[in-house]
């Protein structure tokens, strides 16, 4: 039972890391060489941010990605909508 719980925890942790999910890393240089937006290596995966200040004003770090905050759809870029205070792509 403990092994199953550990496996689920690992799968959950990895699934929260944003694209490029397929880029494994050992340090920040590995990520910057692939895509300058993903300048951090966290849990052996490239991510865009580690915390909110890394995203700049008007954005928050969510699962390793900088996401713009919003009050309504006018605060988001074209093709996005405001859902629960965060801009999200239309799907």
- Reported as a single tens digit per residue, the pLDDT across 31-53 is 888 888 888 999 999 999 999 99
Please give the model's pTM, rounded to 2 decimal places.
Answer: 0.65
pLDDT, one tens digit per residue, over 54-89 is: 899 999 999 888 999 999 989 999 899 999 999 999
| Counted domains in the chain | 2
Which residue, chain included where needed, has tokens 């759809």? Answer: 73
Range of the domain at 67: 55-91
> Looking at the domain assignment, is residue 1 inside a domain?
no
Residue 9 resides in a domain: no
Name, in order, each residue with C-beta under 8 angstroms of 23's C-beta and a sequence gap of 6 or more.
Answer: 30, 31, 34, 35, 38, 45, 46
3-class state of residue 74 by DSSP:
helix
**Are 62 and 85 part of one and the same domain?**
yes
Task: Establish how many alpha carbons lie within 13 A of residue 15's alpha carbon, considering only the half-sphere containing its beta carbon.
Answer: 6
Rounded CA-CA distance 43/26 in Å is 9
């Amino acid at each position: 039972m403990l092994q199953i719980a550990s496996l689920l925890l690992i799968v959950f942790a990895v699934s929260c890391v944003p694209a490029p999910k397929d880029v494994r890393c050992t340090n920040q240089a590995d990520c910057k060489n692939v895509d300058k937006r993903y300048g951090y290596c966290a849990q052996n995966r490239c991510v865009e941010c580690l915390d909110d200040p890394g995203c700049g004003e008007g954005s928050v770090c969510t699962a390793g990605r900088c996401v713009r905050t919003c009050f309504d759809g006018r605060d988001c870029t074209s093709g996005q909508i405001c859902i629960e205070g965060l801009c999200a792509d239309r799907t």
